[in-house]
Amino acid sequence: MKFLVCISNVPDTTTKITFTPDNKEFNKAGVQFVINPWDEYALTRAIELKEAQGSGTVTVLNVGEADTEPNIRKALAIGADDAIRVNAAPKDAYFVAEQIAAIAKEGAYDVILMGKESIDYNGFQVHGMVGELLGIPTVAPAMKLDMSGNTATLEREIEGGKEIVEVNTPFVASCQQPMCEPRIPNMRGIMTARTKPLKVVEPTGEGARTSVAEYALPPKKQGVKLIPAESAGELIKLLRNEAKVI
């Protein structure tokens, strides 16, 4: 079975977010980039399923410029077999979805996995767009994924519960916890990752349908109003009379 795992290169979760002086772009200076945490669930689960099946391949796909390659190598070190990088900055969700759909079609992948959303743009859009472009089902967000032959059983999170869904390959799933315990690379993985194939291809498709005019930081908080522990009940009065939230 052929797994395609899409990963996104995002600022580390502890990054202080700043923008370029014109507020048109994220300021990358001094920022550590990581594999999008949600995508790690997709990657590890694909590797686990391949191992359980005893055959198959896991290909990792990233839409990004050359500076994303360290994290692609990291995905190979975790256990993916090969990688494809679409050589373009990800302009918007539709642009990225077009790249993924083109590669998924050309490579006839059976299972296309990705994280629920990226922690930088938080679109939660790409999964459905890829499914629609390919005319195959999407299950999002998936908390559990098991395969039996060509049939997958997934748990899909809904507000206040879950649905059990069965789909046949090919399908798209966007993954979140508690799907698996994301793996970290071991020394052997890091050594072998250096020689695993990483193919670079040029982008295709119609292009983006949205653009960012400007970024802004949220307004600063006024500062915390502290209530002495002895008179904790005062807090409730403030919440009713001052904040008016209860």
Partner 1 sequence: MSVLVVVECDGGEVKKSSLEVASYGSQVAQMLGTTATAVAVGEATEANLAQLGEQGISKVLYDAEPRLKDFVNGAYTKLIAAAAEKEGAQVIVLANSNIGAAVGSRLSVRLKASLATNVVELPKNEGGSFTVKRGAFSGKAFADVVLTGDRKILAVKKNSIEALHEAGKTATVESFSASLSDADFADAPKQVVMQDQAGGVLLPEADRVVSGGRGMKGPENWHLIEDLAKALGAATACSKPVSDVDWRPHHEHVGQTGITVSPNLYIACGISGAIQHLAGVNSSKVIVVINKDPEAPFFKAADYGIVGDVFEILPKLTQAVKELN
Distance CA 195, CA 49 (A): 23
User: Rg of the chain over CA atoms, in angstroms?
Assistant: 21
Contacts of 88 by beta carbon, 8 Å cutoff, 6+ apart: 63, 64, 65, 95, 99, 202, 203
Q: How many CA atoms lie within 13 A of 30 on its CB side?
A: 7
Q: Smallest distance from the beta carbon of 174 to partner 1, in angstroms?
A: 9
Taking alpha carbons only, the member of 119, 169, 109 closest to residue 139 is 169
**What is the distance, to the nearest Å, from the Cα of residue 135 to the centroid of all Cα atoms in its chain?**
21
Cβ distance to partner 1 smaller for residue 20 or 192: 20
Which one, 81 or 215, has the nearer CB to partner 1?
215
Phi-psi region at 172: left, alpha or beta (left = phi > 0; alpha = psi -120 to 50):
beta
The minimum distance between CB 119 and partner 1, in angstroms, equals: 5
Question: Measured from the CB of residue 108, what is the shortest distance to partner 1 in angstroms?
Answer: 20
Residue with smaller CB distance to partner 1, 29 or 232: 232
Minimum CB separation of residue 184 from partner 1 in Å reads 16
Residue 48 CB, shortest distance to partner 1, in Å, is: 18
